[in-house]
């Protein structure tokens, strides 16, 4: 239904320099697919959705929608907006119109429906999202979750082929997220083609046919929910889905300020709720720098914590070697190291070798 080829979007900064937000986006979206777009903020997810329905026209590339090039001169924007609905984080309802009028406005104006026809359909759509009872209310009378359900009904009233959602639950009180997600889940089961930018990982995982992981202006990795969440190929994808936090030090000499390292590790452990692991991290750091790593400068010391797997690890990484630094250690030291952690993993990396202590 949608084919995107080499899509780019750039903005000109106030100082005249060029800021490339979308660098080279390529994808194919089939009818009935439900695609969740995940990724760190500022990587162009919203820009991508806004480029797709030409709210923010792309700089270059090609978008085919139902086989037609929508970037061609003269392609009717009204038709595009009708066929490709959009639901925003901030609802964007018309505050001065009743709920019913919010839903009937576009079908009467753009589809030429009579008021009666538009109202009948609007009521059916409002019923679908559980908001029929509020048809006479004003937006200000509704909760955020209710407003977002009305926004979805308004989009459905145009009989779109696809709906783009930009973080539809991000502005909601946590108690209201569920009601919006369940409406979306319902649409998904009915076969609506949906593109959803979301931070709701569980929802993305359960509802999507495919996941796009966007990073640095490209679709960095694309796959089934199982592939992306269980077996991501790229380390950036893995870090994102497992919500891995890192603290990294390039230790270049014995004079490196290890007290500062330990202080920062303490703050890191408190921040991610693993304060109990701070002592082991410090003792491992002391022992490793005094023994195994003493002849290995420079090396990289890294503390990581995954909120998803709840694994905290302390890594010692040495470049340009394929031998574990632990090979040179005497057995008493290795025994001592073992008592300070759950597990020691020795593994080659693309750039060298890593000794990982699981805390
Ligand atoms: P995401 O939705 O992934 O968080 P966005 O698509 O909103 O990211 O933004 C990506 C980058 O593009 C950000 O750095 C943002 O500041 C920039 N950006 C977005 N819209 C504009 C604009 N109209 N003018 C200039 N920069 C913009
Ligand atoms: Mg965004």
Distance 68 CA to ligand 1 centre (A): 27
Q: How far apart are CA 223 and CA 225, in angstroms?
A: 6
Mean pLDDT along residues 233-259: 94
Contact 166, 134 (CB under 8 A): no
pLDDT score, position 308: 84
356 lines ligand 1 (CB under 6 A): no
Q: How far apart are CA 145 and CA 169, in angstroms?
A: 8
Distance 269 CA to ligand 1 centre (A): 32
> Is the pLDDT at 359 greater than 90, yes or no?
yes
Mean pLDDT for the chain overall: 95
Query: Considering only CA atoms, which residue is closest to atom 19 of ligand 1?
Result: 47
Positive or negative CA dihedral for 10, 210, 70, 198? negative
Task: Order the strands of the 60-65 sheet from edge to edge.
Answer: 18-29, 2-12, 60-65, 68-69
* Model pLDDT for residues 249-290, shown as the tens digit of each residue: 999 999 999 999 999 999 999 999 999 999 999 999 999 999
Atom of ligand 1 nearest to the CA of 47: 6
Question: pLDDT category, 309, cuts 50, 70, 90?
Answer: confident
57 lines ligand 1 (CB under 6 A): no
50 lines ligand 1 (CB under 6 A): no
Question: Locate tokens 């870090």: which residue?
Answer: 239
pLDDT above 70 as % of the chain: 100
pTM of the prediction? Answer: 0.83
CA 307 to centroid of chain Cα atoms:
15
- As given in the structure block, the two tokens for residue 333 are 């030291």
Residue count of the chain, please give it: 359
> Is the pLDDT at 328 greater than 90, yes or no?
no
* Model pLDDT for residues 107-149, shown as the tens digit of each residue: 999 999 999 999 999 999 999 999 999 999 999 999 999 999 9
Range in 61-65, 75-79, 97-101 the model is least confident about: 75-79
Query: Considering only CA atoms, which residue is closest to atom 20 of ligand 1?
Result: 47
- As given in the structure block, the two tokens for residue 310 are 């709840």
pLDDT above 90 as % of the chain: 94
Distance 249 CA to ligand 2 centre (A): 31
Contact 210, 223 (CB under 8 A): yes
3-state helix, strand, coil in the chain (%, to 5): 40, 30, 35
pLDDT score, position 174: 87
Atom of ligand 1 nearest to the CA of 39: 3
Q: How far apart are CA 223 and CA 201, in angstroms?
A: 14
Pocket mutation for ligand 1, best pick of 17, 18, 21, 213 (most atoms within 8 Å of C-beta): 21
Mean pLDDT along residues 180-194: 95
* Model pLDDT for residues 330-352, shown as the tens digit of each residue: 999 999 999 999 999 999 998 99
40 lines ligand 1 (CB under 6 A): no
* Model pLDDT for residues 41-53, shown as the tens digit of each residue: 999 999 999 999 9
Contact 215, 236 (CB under 8 A): yes
CA 32 to centroid of chain Cα atoms:
21
Q: Which residues touch 42 (CB under 8 Å, ≥6 apart)?
A: none
The single-letter DSSP state of residue 277 is G
Atom of ligand 1 nearest to the CA of 217: 10
Alpha helices in the chain (DSSP H): 45-52, 77-83, 99-110, 115-128, 144-156, 174-189, 201-207, 225-230, 235-241, 258-271, 278-290, 331-339
Q: How far apart are CA 162 and CA 159, in angstroms?
A: 9
Query: Considering only CA atoms, which residue is closest to atom 12 of ligand 1?
Result: 21
Angle between helices 331-339 and 278-290 (to 10 degrees): 170
């Amino acid at each position: 239904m949608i084919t995107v080829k080499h899509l780019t979007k750039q903005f000109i900064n106030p100082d005249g320099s060029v800021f490339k937000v979308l660098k080279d986006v390529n994808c194919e979206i089939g009818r009935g697919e439900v695609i969740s777009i995940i990724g760190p903020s500022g990587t162009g997810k919203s820009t991508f959705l806004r480029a797709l329905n030409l709210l923010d026209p792309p700089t270059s590339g090609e978008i085919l929608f139902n086989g037609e090039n929508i970037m061609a001169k003269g392609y009717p924007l009204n038709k595009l907006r009708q066929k490709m609905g959009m639901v925003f984080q901030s609802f964007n309802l018309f505050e001065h119109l009743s709920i019913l009028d919010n839903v009937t406005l576009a079908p009467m104006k753009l589809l030429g429906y009579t008021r009666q026809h538009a109202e009948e359909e609007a009521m059916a759509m409002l019923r679908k999202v559980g908001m029929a009872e509020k048809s006479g209310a004003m937006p200000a009378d509704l909760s955020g979750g209710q407003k977002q359900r009305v926004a979805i009904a308004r989009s459905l009233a145009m009989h779109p082929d696809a709906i783009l959602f930009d973080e539809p639950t991000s502005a909601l009180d946590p108690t209201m997220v569920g009601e919006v997600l369940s409406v979306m889940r319902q649409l998904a089961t009915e076969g609506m083609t949906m593109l959803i930018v979301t931070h709701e990982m569980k929802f993305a995982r359960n509802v999507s046919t495919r996941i796009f992981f966007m990073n640095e202006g490209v679709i960095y990795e694309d796959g089934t929910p199982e592939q992306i969440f269980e077996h991501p190929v790229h380390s950036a994808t893995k870090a994102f889905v497992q919500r891995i936090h890192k603290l990294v030090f390039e230790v270049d000499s014995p004079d490196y300020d290890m007290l500062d390292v330990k202080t920062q590790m303490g703050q890191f452990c408190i921040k991610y709720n693993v304060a109990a692991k701070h002592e082991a991290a410090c003792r491992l750091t002391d022992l490793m720098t005094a023994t195994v790593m003493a002849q290995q400068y420079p090396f990289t010391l890294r503390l990581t914590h995954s909120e998803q797997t709840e694994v905290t690890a302390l890594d010692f990484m040495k470049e340009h070697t394929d031998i574990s630094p632990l090979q040179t250690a005497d057995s008493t030291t290795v025994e001592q190291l073992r008592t300070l952690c759950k597990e020691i993993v020795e593994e080659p990396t693309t750039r060298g070798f890593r000794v990982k202590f699981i805390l």
